[in-house]
Amino acid sequence: MTTRPRIALSAAFLLALLSVPALPAQNAAPVDPKTVPVIDAGIGPCSAEFTVNDASGAPVYDAKVRVQIAYGFMNLHKLDLEVGTNAAGKARFTGLPDKPRQGLFFRASGGGREASAFDDPAKTCEAGLVIALEKKTQ
């Protein structure tokens, strides 16, 4: 086979591939609002479960709970994690270190409100924390 027919065949094959429509994306299963969202840090055996409420005590849906974890030699590694709450205001972090240099400072926010919580996994390896969101102060 000479070069010219080989190029023509390659070009025809390439055009055929490009003209095939992309496969449709698979639809993700609907999220159950009762399932507690979990994010795994993967750096230890501890966990922290949150219940996020508003000032009146009602659960806050899709409040964001964030934490930055410093770990490793001289705490040079940083891991930023964020999870949203379910309809009952619950969220969970797993795989947290059991001996952080300092404790873990969690920040929660949602709907123009915010609050924070502190946990020391060296003392409370499986923490259950309640956070009451309040309006942000200027």
What was the pLDDT predicted at 72?
77
The b-or-e profile of 8-30 (16+ CB within 10 A means b, else e) is eeeeeeeeeeeeeeeeeeeeeee
What was the pLDDT predicted at 93?
97
38-135 is a CATH 2.60.40.1120 domain: yes
pLDDT tens column, 100-114 = 888 899 999 998 999
How far is it, in rounded angstroms, from Cα 105 to Cα 68? 8
What was the pLDDT predicted at 62?
93
pTM: 0.73
The residue among 12 and 73 whose pLDDT is bigger is 73
Q: Backbone phi, then psi, for 8, in 5-degree steps? A: -65, -40
What was the pLDDT predicted at 70?
86
What was the pLDDT predicted at 109?
95
pLDDT surpasses 80 at 77: yes
Domain ranges of the chain: 38-135
From 125, 131, 96, 99, select the one nearest 113 (Cα to Cα): 131
